[in-house]
Amino acid sequence: MWRVLARRVSRGAAGPPGLVRPRRALGAGVGAGAGPARRGPVWGGPAPRPLLPPPAWPRLVPRRCCSLPAHQKVALPALSPTMQMGTIARWEKKEGDKINEGDLIAEVETDKATVGFESLEECYLAKILVPEGTRDVPIGAVICITVEKPEYIDAFKNYTLDSAAAAAPAASVPPPPAAAPSPPPQPSPQAPGSSYPPHMQITLPALSPTMTMGTVQRWEKKVGEKLSEGDLLAEIETDKATIGFEVQEEGYLAKILVPEGTRDVPLGTPLCIIVEKEADIPAFADYQAAAVTDMKAPAPPPPPPPPQVMATPAAAPPPAQPAAAPAPAAPSAGPPRKGGRVVVSPLAKKLAAEKGIDLTQVKGTGPDGRITKKDVESFVPSKAPPVAAAPEAVPVVAAAPEGTFTDIPISNIRRVIAQRLMQSKQTIPHYYLSIDVNMGKVLVLRKELNQEVSENIKLSVNDFIIKASALACLKVPEANSSWMDTVIRQNHVVDVSVAVSTPAGLITPIVFNAHIKGLAAISKDVASLAARAREGKLQPHEFQGGTFTISNLGMYGIKNFSAIINPPQACILAVGSSKEILVPADNEKGFDVASVMSVTLSCDHRVVDGAVGAQWLAEFKNFLEKPVTMLL
């Protein structure tokens, strides 16, 4: 394209007038006397100005990228620390309106509140790209176009983001200039696949939906060993559990790229190399993948340096800090400047003047570091740097004696448990309902059934609790629901998650379709899931999901407790121990001894109202106090 354009211009400059675009010669002044370049063709008329030879024409810019005047794309900023998306609630300005500094452009609904989006400079609103009511607009999305002069507005009448994106590649990819040919690129000395025999690079897969990194706990195969389909290759610790990574094809393990114990390995990182022929293994002795060249197993942390404790005045004082490394000055924490001025809202500026606050010392939290009213109200003047105290004034800090504590590394499972529990308590409005259940008839029925079933099955009280919970969820489906942010999903099947304590942390394997399973089937499922959970051999689908959760601490003698909801579920049942108490009875003694169990239901008030939670507990109690009804 550039050569054709250059030939046309050259013909127009040398012979009869043609279709050319006037342009100043290279080297002409751009100051006074150099008028703006005209747009559009010139047919006939005076001869054009001198033009450069064809080699200089690659500096031309395609016309479509020059068809729009100077403008600014306004992106949606982060109006709160946790904001990821926003909703354009209302535009306060219309296309063509003049916008002064500090004017409200639009109202944006964030994850916290509806916040006014102010302008930082004078301009004109040329085009609104995101209409009112648009939901879930990501941060950084272009929402409007502003220009400096009103005569530029008409140029953006038909402007869209699609047209801008289509013009961007043509404007940003100039043709190669006429220059000396560059030497051919040298091949990478470790380019996989170029000089190696046929092989397969095994990468770390996503072993759970929320997994972003993993830890290689142990390699089950060594370099040179033969691999068969289904063999266990390695054990990977995910954010949920430690899962075995199986081989999908036959071959030989030629190279291990990530050693055992390597933590926080990103998804997609090459783990090892597998070849088809045993004779190809030596070729990969020095193989290294680019993604793991710098990845090593973490070395044990060095012992902490001995604390500098001043035991006596005669002890040597700590070395003085060099004078050239003082603490950062206060202006470094001040707000950013735009064009040599502090970016501040009019109200914040007025409030700072009334309080006599130096705005250069205030750190702004608004868009682009803008100082808001809240920043001024919460500003605390920085104190003067303390004068260096004499050695005897340094406070004596007694370090903990060595060997009095142990730092335990946080596993991926423990880290995820901490994040999810904190998220649950901070975002879910919990409330708690407790009730006592007479377990006398359940205990009698359990004893009779254990005498009838085979020796391999032993029914527990927890099996009856799981069955009663599932049937109560069918009776009160609101408790078997999930909060999905935009909708409440009411589940038609009951998958009961049972909390199991493992050495690595808490995990909740699932008894699927508990509402249609018998007590024997539930007992088998729970026993198998609990055993594999403690061994770290659960598959992801066996502990991800669930519609209702049960946490039982009765075997530890806990009378009652309140459990934390497992999102997106709406309820979790905390089961305490049973104890014998005296209850009124219609007999000669006037009382009887009953085994009473206390349970507490934690509910998400966004999904389950108080009365609904009470109805669920009533149904649950009825099923356990009259266990025959579970057969209906």
> Which residue numbers are catalytic?
605, 609
- What is the 3 state secondary structure string of 184-228? CCCCCCCCCCCCCCCEEEEECCCCCCCCCEEEEEEECCCCCCEEC
Q: What is d(CA 373, CA 359) in angstroms, rounded to the nearest whole number?
A: 12
Instruction: Decide: residue 18, CB within 10 A, 0-12 exposed, 13-18 middle, 19+ buried.
Output: middle
Residue 325 CA, chain-centre distance (Å), reads: 37
Residue in the structure block whose two tokens are 């198998």: 528
Question: CA torsion 386→392→398→399, rounded to 10°?
Answer: 70
Query: Checking phi first, is residue 590 left (phi over 0); if not, alpha (psi -120 to 50) or beta?
Result: left
CA geometry: angle 168, 172, 178, nearest 5 deg: 150
Residue in the structure block whose two tokens are 């004082």: 317
Beta bridge partners of 124: 98, 147
Which distant-in-sequence residues (6+ apart) come within 8 Å of 324 by Cβ?
none
Phi, psi of 511 (to 5 degrees): -95, 100
Yes or no: say if 508 and 498 are a contact pair by the CB < 8 Å rule. Answer: yes
The DSSP 8-state label assigned to residue 268 in this structure reads T
Which distant-in-sequence residues (6+ apart) come within 8 Å of 555 by Cβ?
577
Yes or no: say if 542 and 510 are a contact pair by the CB < 8 Å rule. Answer: yes
Going across the sheet that includes 496-498, the strands are: 430-438, 591-604, 571-584, 548-552, 496-498, 510-511
Yes or no: say if 253 and 222 are a contact pair by the CB < 8 Å rule. Answer: yes
Yes or no: say if 405 and 232 are a contact pair by the CB < 8 Å rule. Answer: no
The DSSP 8-state label assigned to residue 160 in this structure reads -
Per-residue DSSP letters for 515-553? TTS-HHHHHHHHHHHHHHHHHT---GGGTS--SEEEEE-
Yes or no: say if 507 and 530 are a contact pair by the CB < 8 Å rule. Answer: no
Which distant-in-sequence residues (6+ apart) come within 8 Å of 496 by Cβ?
466, 469, 470, 510, 511, 514, 546, 547, 548, 549, 550
Q: What is d(CA 23, CA 39) in angstroms, rounded to the nearest whole number?
A: 10
